[in-house]
Amino acid sequence: MRETIRFIRRGKIVEVANVDPMMTLLDYLRLSEGSTGTKEGCGEGDCGACTVAIGRSRNGKVVYEPINACIQLLGQVDGAEIVAVEDLAEGNELHPIQAAMVEKHGSQCGFCTPGFVMSVFSLYQGTDGAVGRDQINDTIAGNLCRCTGYRPIVEAALSVCASPRDDKFRKAAQDTAGVLDFITDDSDIFIGDDDRFFAAPASVDGLAALYARHPDAILVAGATDVGLWITKQLRDLPKIIHLGRVKDLDGVEDTGREILIGAAATYAHVEPYMRTIDPDLGELFRRIGSKQVRASGTVGGNVANGSPIGDTPPALIVLGATMELRRRDRSRILAVEDFYIEYGKQNRAAGEFVTGILVPKLRPDQIFRCYKVTKRFDQDISSVMGAFRFTIDAEGLITEARIAFGGMAGTPKRAKGAETALHGAGIRDTAAWAKAFAALRDDFSPLDDHRASANYRAETAHALLGKALIEAAGTPTSRTRLVGRREGFVHAAE
CATH of the domain at 278: 3.30.465.10
Contacts of 346 (CB under 8 A, 6+ apart): 304, 306, 339, 340
Give the whole-angstrom CA distance, residue 52 versus residue 72: 10
* Same domain? 390 vs 341: no
**DSSP-assigned letter for residue 94:** P
Give the whole-angstrom CA distance, residue 29 versus residue 84: 9
Evaluate whether residue 10 is within a structural domain.
Answer: no
Give the whole-angstrom CA distance, residue 90 versus residue 387: 50
* Same domain? 229 vs 304: no
Under a CB-based contact definition with an 8 Å cutoff, are residues 314 and 386 in contact? yes
* Same domain? 274 vs 335: yes
* Same domain? 322 vs 409: no
Percent of the chain scoring above 90 in pLDDT: 93
CATH of the domain at 104: 1.10.150.120
* Same domain? 203 vs 137: no
Evaluate whether residue 225 is within a structural domain.
Answer: yes
Contacts of 460 (CB under 8 A, 6+ apart): 373, 383, 384, 452
Residues 63-72: pLDDT tens digits? 999 999 999 9
- Average pLDDT value for residue range 221-236: 96
Evaluate whether residue 210 is within a structural domain.
Answer: yes
Give the whole-angstrom CA distance, residue 492 versus residue 48: 41
pLDDT for 127 equals 96
Q: Which one of 202, 220, 242 terminates a domain?
A: 242
pLDDT for 322 equals 98
pLDDT above 80 for 490? no
b/e per residue 259-271 (b: at least 16 CB within 10 A): bbbbbbbbbbbbb
CATH of the domain at 235: 3.30.43.10
Evaluate whether residue 183 is within a structural domain.
Answer: no
Please report which confidence band the pLDDT of residue 494 belongs to, taking 50, 70 and 90 as the band edges: very low
How far out from the chain centre does Cα 439 lie?
33
CB atoms within 10 A of CB 17: 9
Q: Which one of 178, 208, 242 terminates a domain?
A: 242
* Same domain? 280 vs 297: yes
User: Which of helix, strand or coil describes residue 472?
Assistant: helix
Residues 131-144: pLDDT tens digits? 999 999 999 999 99
pLDDT for 493 equals 43
Residues 356-398: pLDDT tens digits? 999 999 999 999 999 999 998 988 999 999 999 999 999 999 9
pLDDT above 70 for 18? yes
* Same domain? 394 vs 416: yes
Evaluate whether residue 216 is within a structural domain.
Answer: yes
pLDDT for 451 equals 86
Give the whole-angstrom CA distance, residue 24 versus residue 43: 11
* Same domain? 218 vs 318: no
pLDDT above 70 for 492? no
- When the pLDDT of each residue in the chain is averaged and rounded to a whole number, the result is 96
Evaluate whether residue 20 is within a structural domain.
Answer: no
* Same domain? 259 vs 353: yes
pLDDT for 338 equals 97
Evaluate whether residue 338 is within a structural domain.
Answer: yes
State which residues form the domain around 221: 189-242
Residues 441-461: pLDDT tens digits? 999 999 888 889 999 999 999
Q: How many domains is the chain partitioned into structurally?
A: 4
Q: Minimal CA–CA distance to 409: which of 465, 340, 469?
A: 340
- Average pLDDT value for residue range 229-252: 97
Residues 98-128: pLDDT tens digits? 999 999 999 999 999 999 999 999 999 999 9
- Average pLDDT value for residue range 324-346: 96
Q: What are phi and psi of 68, to 5 degrees?
A: -90, 110
Q: Which one of 332, 360, 388 terminates a domain?
A: 360
Q: Are strands 81-83 and 4-9 parallel, antiparallel or unpaired?
A: parallel
pLDDT above 70 for 211? yes
* Same domain? 195 vs 112: no
* Same domain? 421 vs 382: yes
Evaluate whether residue 226 is within a structural domain.
Answer: yes
pLDDT above 60 for 246? yes
* Same domain? 370 vs 344: no
